[in-house]
Amino acid sequence: MKRIGILALQGDFEAHARTLTRLGADPVFVRTAADLDTVDAIIIPGGESTTMLKLLHAENLLAPLAAFGRRRPIFGTCAGAILLAAGVSHPAQEGLGLMDIDVERNAYGRQIDSRVTRLTPEAEFAARTHPGEMEAVFIRAPVIRRVGPQARVLARYQGDPVLVEQGKHLVATFHPELTADSRVHELFLSKL
């Protein structure tokens, strides 16, 4: 059984655990560097990226998490996508720099501007999972402003990339863990 870590310092890590359990994976809450040695991959959930970054520093987890990502898959949703990006703006902040993307924080607006919508994934995503629209929950979501040549866009919203993969890593600016559609998590598990 695949043991998938979920960074459990802040954010909705429980929703990811429920999705992974539904898919037959073994979710493991990661709170220390030692926990990273027990998992095959890790999810960085949504939440507040500045708070997560402070907690990663407080727990001495930032460097071990970056080292983990050089060897194993990481899936970042919303705040997790911000932390995986090479560049972050509005305001700028450090991160793991594991994906060649630039992200603008809170680009769709405040909490009141959050929304649930339908996305039509790119053909490549549909071919690797199954076709059809999927529900996407955006909560104070970032926007991916630049996608480097090694990264591939798998879904867009209003023309902006919202689901991007690069090698073993995957980011979503929305929250797939808050819907019944498990295709994004299935794609991540297929990277193991």
Q: Is 135 a catalytic residue?
A: no
The whole-model pTM stands at 0.95
- Secondary structure of residue 28 in the 3-state scheme: strand
Pairing of β 99-104 and β 85-89:
parallel
Please give the Cα distance from 181 to 163 (Å, whole number). 14
- Residue of 16, 78, 104, 165 with catalytic role: 78
Handedness of CA 44, 116, 144, 49 (dihedral sign): negative
The residue extents of the domains of the chain are 3-189
Q: Hunting for tokens 């996508």 — which residue is that? A: 81
- Residue of 16, 104, 165, 175 with catalytic role: 175
pLDDT at 131: 87
Q: Is 16 a catalytic residue?
A: no
pLDDT at 169: 98
- Residue of 16, 104, 177, 185 with catalytic role: 177
Residue ranges of the chain with per-residue pLDDT less than 50: 112
Q: Is 57 a catalytic residue?
A: no
Mean pLDDT, the chain, integer? 93
What architecture is domain 3-189? 3-Layer(aba) Sandwich (3.40)
pLDDT, tens only, 94-150: 989 999 999 998 766 555 457 899 999 999 998 898 889 999 999 888 999 999 999
pLDDT at 145: 96
Percentage of residues of the chain with pLDDT beyond 90: 82
pLDDT at 111: 52
What residues contact 148, with CB distance under 8 A and at least 6 apart?
86, 99, 100, 101, 166
